[in-house]
Amino acid sequence: SPRNPEQKIIKRVIALEGDIIKTIGYKKKYVKVPHGHIWVEGDHHGHSFDSNAFGPVSLGLLHARATHILWPPQRWQKLQPTLPPERKPLHREQE
């Protein structure tokens, strides 16, 4: 969590540094993710503490990558690295 680095939160990475993203309720409608940062969002828009609330997140706060859902047991599955089509970056800088 950018507000409390001792707290761990799990979010989907929506955009990488240099990408331009259309935000959902952030103070700016469009954001170019700065160097050394990512844009993260939860799956429940409007009810998620994510980049739409606090902005781009420093890569230094990134700890790990979630690979599976384990709880509740009926949701056990391997996570696929996909983005909802409506959340893809508008522009991606060339490497």
Within 1-95, residue ranges assigned H as helices are: 51-54
**How confident is the model over 2-21, as pLDDT tens digits?**
788 788 888 889 999 999 99
Distance from C-alpha of 20 to C-alpha of 43, rounded to nearest angstrom: 20
Percent of the chain with pLDDT over 90: 45
Does residue 18 sit in helix, strand or coil? coil
Distance from C-alpha of 22 to C-alpha of 12, rounded to nearest angstrom: 15
Label residue 68 by pLDDT band (50, 70, 90): confident
Domain parsing of the chain, residue ranges: 12-78
Q: In this structure, which amino acid lies at residue 14?
A: I
Whether the Cβ atoms of residue 36 and residue 17 lie closer than 8 Å to each other: yes
pTM: 0.78
Whether the Cβ atoms of residue 15 and residue 39 lie closer than 8 Å to each other: yes
Quick one: pLDDT at residue 56? Answer: 96
- pLDDT at residue 94 is higher than 70: no
